[in-house]
Amino acid sequence: MKRRFGMMMAAVVMLLASNVVVAQPGGQQGPPPIPSSKQVKQMVSEMAGEIALTAEQQETITKLYFDHFKEVEKTMEAGRPDREKMDALKSEFEKQVNAELTEEQQKKYDAYMKKNAPEGRGPGRPEK
């Protein structure tokens, strides 16, 4: 009897544990939200400190970020874009930013982006 009760309890625990695992969300579904104006300004400000942007560069790059995210938003409003389209937008954005940087800043920018853009996130996307 004790053995049977023990086996039943083990089965119940396993069932409950499997339900907990199944109930866990699989992470964020879909693309991350477009950053707000405040978040964009914060991202560029943090980047400016790390890669030594001049005030003029900071202003220009802030505009590039705003333009990039407007384009991303417009593309997403037309329906779910394919990865190639989004990669092309990101690539063009990064070319535009790099065009504003010195060679030394470009190296720092690349390192900054690798450090701050984990897999599955776009350029400089903020954490929530």
User: Residue 50 corresponds to which tokens in the numbers above?
Assistant: 């790390």
User: What confidence tens digit (pLDDT) does each residue in 60-77 have?
Assistant: 999 999 999 999 999 888
- This prediction's pTM: 0.68
Pick from 45, 60, 53: nearest CA to 93: 60
Cα distance between residue 74 and residue 71, in whole Å: 5
Going 109 to 101 to 55 to 63, the CA torsion angle's sign is negative
User: What confidence tens digit (pLDDT) does each residue in 1-58 have?
Assistant: 555 544 444 444 454 444 444 445 556 666 778 899 999 999 999 999 999 999 999 9
